[in-house]
Structure 1
Amino acid sequence: MANIRELHAAAWLGEIDTIYKVIEQDPRILEEVDAVPFVNTPLHTAASAGHLEFSIEIMRLKPSFGWKLNEQGFSPIHLALQNNQHNLVRRLVEINKDLVRVKGREGVTPLHFLCQSGDDNKNIKLLIDLLEACPDSIEDVNVRNETALHIALINQNLSAFRKLVHWLVKNVRKGADSLEVSILNWKNSEGNTILHIAIINDNEQAFDLLIGSIKVDINARNLENQTALDLAEARPLPTMNRKLQDRFALFINRFRRGSIVLVMDRIKAEVSEEQRNANLVIATLMLTVIYQTVLSPPGGLTQGSDNDPSGKNLLNSTSSHNSTAAGKSVMPQKTFYLVTVLNAYVFLFAIGIIISMLPKSFSAFAVFSILYFMTSYFVSEAVIWP
């Protein structure tokens, strides 16, 4: 017991050397602390005091301390957050990103804690850092089945709420679409979605942020069988009521401002490497075949004679009614038009496949090359037009 007290004293002062002195006296002391289900470990003490190097050292020696809850139901990272030790939190998460998901009292994770804290820049920046380090943490809920978005709205932390919604909308990881739909329409223990809560709290800014998204289900019902429109009418909130009824127009406006690049990035994330390679090969073959019809169209091209470079005297007399110059397709105009339209559809479809399958790091360079290639194709079509 004396050794444990000495270890905590060292943690409070940040004296790393003392750790090893205590371990020399009792090599199993860290295991003894870890064996207690709920205990204030030296990492708890160091995290509360903000001793970064000591915390990292003890975490390295005993990684399981990062998950331990003390008698009050807090982990070391929770205590660090309570004491505004943001850099220490970041370093612990660098060691183990899953610590973002450790649940303390009432199921509150570090992400939840920041959502219910103040909306100053340091808290918001750390919130985004934790979310980027462990994106799966957006799915964690507390004992009231509330996500981080619920908690941010309930605590009037609009800055955190905006950042979370923005991250969901811009997310391009695999499964991003289904995740966005799930989180935006998640119901807490009372059956309320974040749209319900925005109306209950008369938070028009949060409401406007949600109502423009097609992913938000405005017809979702809570346990009292109320939709968002029911709540807006009952309060009453005429502005929200009107916006709910005009939601289609709002969505069209939002869609026009939407990013096609985002949609393409999400498509890329859903495709495996094998599927990507197969699609690129197929699209390349399609482009090769289509471009070949410009170089060698069905029936060939009209030819000019050596004595008549202008091509007015045609070698192929059977096609003289189709063209008056060399290098033109011998096909009748209607047939050529039909072939050109069909080829253009296939050509653009293949181009779309290639652009959507390209890795993001190569897209900027490749898109310009593809645009030049498209220009070449359509100019060539115009040149041989009968």
Structure 2
Amino acid sequence: MERRLHRAALEGNVPSLLQLLREDELVLERSLVGPHSDTPLHVAAMLGHSEFVSKILSLKPELACELNSQRSTPLHLAAAKGYVDIVKGLLNACKEACLVSDKYGRNPLQVAAVKGKVKVLEALVQVAAEAARIVNKSGETVLHMCVKNNKLESLKVLVGMFGGEDEFIDWKDKDGNSALHLAAADGQFETVDFLTTHTRADIHSRNLEGFMALDLLAQSTTGTKEKAIADNQTMSKQTRVSPLSRASKFPSGAYNWKKHFKRQNSWLERMRNSLMVVATLTATMAFQAGMNPPGGVWQDNAGDNSTSVPVNNTISYFGLVVPGNSTITHLAGITVMGDSYYGVYLAFLVFNTIGFIASLSIIVLLISGLPMRRRLFVGVLMVIMWIVITSMALTYAISIIFLTPRGRGLPYEIISLGILAWTGLMTLLVGLHIIRLIGKALRACIRAVTHRRRRIMV
């Protein structure tokens, strides 16, 4: 009997169903405890047998709320296949089924959206609009799902119904990404264009990593730069978003996404080229200074007491007296600075080596093939370049002090003032960047707390 009922559902054979009911009035009830996880209504709804579905619903409407092994209702299956008439009949029998989540955390409305069944989606939104506001375990709404599955038409239907609700459009998932963030990160230019011109999506909103949608669009490598976003789009305060929308909060005037995209890439490319040139020059300078230190190298040997040269070679080094050797004994090819003032030479060697290694690191990173489209990566290179420049400045100061005749304080005072000015400038820059990073971290924390409260309220 159960096999015959299952066969009738597969074929959509209504006369066979009626015959089975005449033979056993409880045949539909028995199907609920049979070997098949799918009820006859699941099978008929999935295959689009509308007459068979209508007949079962008229006899036993509670079957519309039954779940199969995937926790799917018949409405899930009909929505996924796009059978509008069956969907309407199932909604009339069990409207609550539209709020049921399947094994994958999707309700029938979300299933219709990600499958691109626009007509079914429209029917579901009209009957159970609250299903569109349900979020999954990742904090994603149906808009996030549409973007992830690249279903622009489904997105347009939902925006048409909820476009005036800022919270729905700007809802963020657990990573702080709105639907606009996801579309920009994936390079969906048409979706980005639609969201920015037909909704009140906040283009200045940042995710938990501190990125705006514009930043993610500039970093995106999906698609080509010449897609539909090429046309200039006007986002004025008078832009209408939907029958439910209010005045746009975007600034008046044209906003050219393609121009911004090119400007971002142009800036990154200029920075890359500039860093490569400067790093090459500083590496060359550091190499030359290491091979030819100030004062040069000894040209002959002076290895015993008879050939030792007695000298008074103390040096005032930024107010500190650094004694040298009372007698100079040397070998040909050894640095004069190293023999005469070992402490000064050690400082020179340390700063020069730091500058040389840091310059080489920049060159290696630039030619390594890592994603130079990332602002964070460029920021790291800029910090390394600060270290290079600071090291070269200190190396210069030590060299000038060594080469300046003793007893003449003016050059030392000039170098001291220069070092102090440089230290002050670097401290100011570092302080400003630290303040900027703290500000970003605080804003991210505030957004995370706000987002968590919104999720709790939902």
Range into which the TM-score falls when normalised by the shorter chain: 0.5 to 0.7
Cα distance, 1:41 vs. partner?
A: 0.3
* 2:141 alignment partner, one of 123, 130, 147: 147
Alignment-mate amino acid for residue 53 of structure 2: S
Preserved CA contact (<8 Å) 1:214 1:251: no
CA distance in 2, matches of 1:28, 1:236: 60
Cα distance, 1:234 vs. partner?
A: 4.4
Q: Deviations over 1:66-100 (max 9, x none)?
A: 22222244322333344453332233234444443
CA distance in 2, matches of 1:190, 1:262: 27
* 1:102 alignment partner, one of 100, 103, 128: 100
2:156 corresponds to: 162
1:77 corresponds to: 75
Cα distance, 1:40 vs. partner?
A: 0.8
Q: Is 1:182 matched up with 2:176?
A: no
Return 5+ residue gaps in structure 2 as ranges.
Answer: 248-458
Alignment-mate amino acid for residue 75 of structure 2: I
Where 1:114 maps in the other structure, the secondary structure is: helix
2:327 corresponds to: none
1:204 corresponds to: 189
CA distance in 1, matches of 2:200, 2:170: 8
With normalisation by structure 1, the TM-score equals 0.52
CA distance in 2, matches of 1:261, 1:42: 41
Q: Deviations over 1:6-60 (max 9, x none)?
A: 2212222333344454445544443344468992101012223322122112123
Q: Is 1:224 matched up with 2:218?
A: no
CA distance in 2, matches of 1:16, 1:258: 47
Where 1:106 maps in the other structure, the secondary structure is: coil
Return 5+ residue gaps in structure 1 as ranges.
Answer: 170-176, 265-386
Alignment-mate amino acid for residue 231 of structure 1: L
2:11 corresponds to: 13
Preserved CA contact (<8 Å) 1:74 1:104: yes
Instruction: Tell me the C-alpha RMSD between the 2 structures.
Output: 3.9
Preserved CA contact (<8 Å) 2:112 2:121: yes
Alignment-mate amino acid for residue 201 of structure 1: D
Deviates more, 1:28-37 or 1:200-209: 28-37
CA distance in 2, matches of 1:133, 1:253: 31
* 2:120 alignment partner, one of 126, 129, 142: 126
159 and 221 in structure 1: CA distance in 2 versus 1, 3 angstrom threshold: same
- Residues 41-80 of structure 1 mapped to structure 2, 5 A cutoff: 41-80=39-78
Where 1:105 maps in the other structure, the secondary structure is: coil
- Of all paired residues, the percent bearing the same amino acid is 31
Alignment-mate amino acid for residue 104 of structure 2: E
Q: Is 1:88 matched up with 2:86?
A: yes
Q: Deviations over 1:251-274 (max 9, x none)?
A: 4242xx57899669xxxxxxxxxx
Preserved CA contact (<8 Å) 2:46 2:77: yes
With normalisation by structure 2, the TM-score equals 0.45
201 and 261 in structure 1: CA distance in 2 versus 1, 3 angstrom threshold: closer
